[in-house]
């Protein structure tokens, strides 16, 4: 008997109208919409608090300030996207942003204000590549945490919504999904009218990343195996300023630090960004990341330094409490000394290809948030548009899913659960070396050849580590193949052998299994 059929003998069954895979901003926002139309199951691989949304520091952008306009937010987003944005998606994002923020405030989200009390004016900050102060923060640098809190509180208050935590989805099926309940090792057959992938990012495919450990590209890998179209996987944004202390996690030092005057310096103490871009330290992230790498190579340094000492410890502690206290716990006082920084994988512009309502190319399967590719970010995401993307397109997907009123047939997983015979560390090192900030044909072909040479072996039972290993293996292969096909440099994708942008490639890259 095939292994997949053997596993199915031990599956428990559960039904719902709508299945939401992922409990970040996009998933929770969709669940709020879906609760109006039926029963909703929100499934999370870890706790409900463990997602990229939870750790988002920078803020959320919206044209709400007196001197701002939706058209300016739209222009800034398109400029950052480097000629590859879906203009309709961008317009949808920025047009629906103000109402989405007001809705959050009505649900209890507390953004920073000029003084105490809800009647006080909201504080708007400026971040890299924004032409206006339009970025809202909560508690200084805990914006994602505050938005996730408000959304969870709203979702949990709705009848018909239930949560399944510490359960990893193995695969989506024709009428739902198969998930592993980690506590018992049992497999659950979940049947649903429609499924939403809201699984977040894929940063853990790389050795250096700011993402939480759960960001292993699960949703994209599942959609790929299910035959859905995948788009623009070559465009991975590397955040330029991850804390680079020996033995410490790669903690994100928000772009908002540079918005408040932090300066990047090399080992000689020189502020170097003006040599690389007219916007200096507020240049787009891909430019800053490559500039840091160039300076590291030029000065033979293991990292660069981010200097905000001019603002002093008191200001930094009040404006960025989470960042300040985390660094202080690691022995670094940002008010007295610069922080060692190094780029790290941060955000994927590509993913499961969808329309503006989250529909994928496969009937009944939807995607929203970082796992999806609407084209809203083009080749490079504008700072503080990611939480907004989850809100706007999570809500739109939730509304669109309600239209499906007939279940499709339930199919068991069509393939054996085969796991690559390598370690996750080997894959992450390979991806960082050959699919990272600087790429070329030789390195990409080497990565693809190595991945194609890996044996995949069947396992006799599902386990979280095995599920994640299979997913990052497939994601690394997709990134390498997409990057090899795009023979130009655009946005976050930089080829040293094709350093210029080409009109030939001014279009989306799309692949589908088979």
pLDDT band for position 65 (cuts 50, 70, 90) = very high
Res. 410: pLDDT tops 50: no
- Element spanning 144, H or E: helix 143-156
CATH code, 309 = 3.90.700.10
Euclidean distance between CA atoms 513 and 230, whole angstroms:
9
Res. 363: pLDDT tops 80: yes
Do 320 and 397 sit in the same domain of this protein? no
Whether residue 406 lies inside any domain: the answer is no
In this predicted structure, which of 109-118, 357-366, 491-500 has the lowest mean pLDDT?
109-118
CATH code, 487 = 1.20.58.100
Do 256 and 185 sit in the same domain of this protein? no
Cβ proximity of 180 and 167 under 8 Å? yes
Res. 431: pLDDT tops 80: yes
Whether residue 218 lies inside any domain: the answer is yes
Do 29 and 170 sit in the same domain of this protein? yes
DSSP letters for 60-93:
EE-S-STT--HHHHHHHHHHHTTT---HHHHHHH
pLDDT at 402: 95
Q: b/e for 317-334, b at 16 or more Cβ within 10 A?
A: bebbebbbebbeeeebeb
pLDDT in tens, 277-317: 999 998 878 889 999 999 999 999 999 999 999 999 999 99
Whether residue 322 lies inside any domain: the answer is yes
> Which among 298, 318, 343 is the end of a domain?
343
pLDDT at 56: 55
pLDDT at 8: 44
Whether residue 94 lies inside any domain: the answer is yes
Do 270 and 321 sit in the same domain of this protein? yes
Do 396 and 426 sit in the same domain of this protein? no
In this prediction the pTM is 0.91
Determine phi and psi for 67, rounding to 5 degrees: -95, 15
Do 158 and 21 sit in the same domain of this protein? yes
pLDDT at 405: 56
Do 209 and 335 sit in the same domain of this protein? no
Residue 269's Cβ-count burial label (10 Å; 0-12, 13-18, 19+) is exposed
Whether residue 162 lies inside any domain: the answer is yes
Alpha-helix runs per DSSP H in 304-402 = 312-319, 321-329, 386-401
Give the CA radius of gyration of the chain: 22
| 394's tokens | 């999570």
In 3D, which of 328, 340, 211, 316 has the Cα closest to residue 267?
Answer: 340
pLDDT at 58: 64
pLDDT band for position 87 (cuts 50, 70, 90) = very high
Cβ proximity of 255 and 58 under 8 Å? yes
Euclidean distance between CA atoms 171 and 436, whole angstroms:
28
Do 369 and 477 sit in the same domain of this protein? no
Do 101 and 248 sit in the same domain of this protein? no
CATH code, 160 = 3.50.50.60
Cβ neighbours of residue 329 closer than 8 Å, sequence gap 6 or more: none
In this predicted structure, which of 7-16, 80-89, 340-349, 453-462 has the lowest mean pLDDT?
7-16
Whether residue 386 lies inside any domain: the answer is yes
Q: How far is CA 126 from CA 60, 284, 471, in A?
A: 11, 13, 36
Euclidean distance between CA atoms 122 and 25, whole angstroms:
21
Do 223 and 266 sit in the same domain of this protein? no
Residue 114's Cβ-count burial label (10 Å; 0-12, 13-18, 19+) is exposed
What's the whole-number average pLDDT of the chain?
A: 91
> Which among 313, 343, 373 is the end of a domain?
343
- Which residue in 134, 193, 258, 285 is the catalytic one? 285
Do 109 and 56 sit in the same domain of this protein? yes
Determine phi and psi for 240, rounding to 5 degrees: -70, -25
pLDDT at 119: 66
Under DSSP, is residue 126 helix (H, G, I), strand (E, B) or coil? coil
Whether residue 411 lies inside any domain: the answer is no
Whether residue 67 lies inside any domain: the answer is yes
Euclidean distance between CA atoms 354 and 385, whole angstroms:
18
> Which among 319, 343, 367 is the end of a domain?
343
Do 281 and 326 sit in the same domain of this protein? yes
Cβ proximity of 397 and 358 under 8 Å? yes
Residue 442 is part of which domain span?
Answer: 416-508
Domain count, the chain: 3
Has 353 been annotated as catalytic?
no
- Element spanning 33, H or E: helix 25-34
pLDDT at 442: 98
Residue appearing with tokens 């529909």: 359
């Amino acid at each position: 008997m095939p292994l997949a059929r053997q596993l199915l003998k031990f599956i428990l069954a559960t039904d719902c109208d709508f299945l939401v895979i992922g409990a970040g901003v996009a998933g929770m926002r969709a669940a709020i919409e879906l609760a109006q139309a039926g029963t909703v199951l929100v499934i999370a691989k870890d706790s409900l608090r463990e997602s990229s949304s939870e750790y988002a520091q920078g803020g959320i952008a919206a044209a709400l300030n007196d001197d701002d306009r939706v058209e300016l937010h739209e222009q800034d987003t398109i400029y950052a996207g480097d000629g590859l944005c879906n203009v309709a998606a961008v317009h949808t994002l920025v047009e629906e942003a103000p109402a989405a923020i007001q809705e959050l405030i009505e649900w209890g989200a507390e953004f920073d204000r000029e003084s105490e009390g809800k009647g006080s004016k909201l504080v708007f900050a400026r971040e890299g590549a924004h032409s206006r102060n339009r970025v809202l923060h909560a508690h200084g640098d805990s914006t994602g945490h505050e938005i996730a809190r408000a959304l969870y509180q709203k979702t949990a208050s709705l009848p018909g919504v239930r949560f399944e935590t510490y359960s990893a989805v193995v695969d989506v099926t024709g009428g739902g999904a198969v998930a592993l309940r980690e506590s018992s090792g049992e497999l659950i057959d979940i049947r649903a009218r429609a499924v939403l992938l809201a699984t977040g990012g894929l940063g853990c495919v790389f050795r250096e990343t700011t993402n939480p450990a759960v960001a292993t590209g699960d949703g994209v890998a599942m959609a790929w195996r299910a035959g859905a179209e995948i788009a623009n996987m070559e465009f991975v944004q590397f955040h330029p300023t991850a804390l680079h202390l020996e033995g410490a996690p790669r903690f994100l030092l928000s772009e908002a630090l540079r918005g408040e005057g932090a300066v990047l310096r090399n080992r000689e103490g020189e502020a170097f960004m003006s040599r690389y871009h007219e916007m200096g330290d507020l240049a787009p992230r891909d430019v800053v990341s490559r500039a840091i790498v160039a300076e590291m190579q030029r000065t033979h340094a293991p990292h660069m330094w981010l200097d905000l000492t001019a603002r002093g410890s008191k200001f930094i502690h009040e404006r960025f409490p989470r960042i300040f206290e985390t660094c202080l716990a690691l022995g670094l006082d940002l008010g007295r000394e610069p922080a060692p920084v190094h780029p790290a994988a941060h955000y994927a512009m590509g993913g499961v290809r969808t329309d503006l309502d989250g529909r994928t190319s496969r009937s009944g399967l939807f995607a929203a948030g970082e796992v999806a590719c609407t084209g809203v970010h083009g080749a490079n995401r504008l700072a503080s548009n990611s939480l907004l993307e989850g809100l706007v397109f999570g809500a739109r997907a939730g509304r669109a899913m309600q239209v499906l009123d007939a279940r499709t047939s339930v199919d068991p997983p069509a393939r054996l659960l085969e796991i690559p015979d390598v370690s996750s560390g080997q894959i992450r090192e390979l991806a960082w070396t050959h699919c990272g900030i600087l790429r070329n044909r030789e390195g990409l072909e080497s990565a693809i050849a190595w991945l194609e040479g890996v044996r995949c072996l069947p396992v006799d039972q599902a386990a979280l580590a095995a599920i994640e290993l299979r997913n990052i293996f497939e994601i690394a292969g997709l990134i390498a193949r997409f990057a090899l096909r795009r023979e130009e440099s655009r946005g976050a994708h930089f080829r040293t052998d094709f350093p210029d942008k080409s009109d030939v490639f001014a279009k989306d890259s799309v692949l589908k299994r088979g």
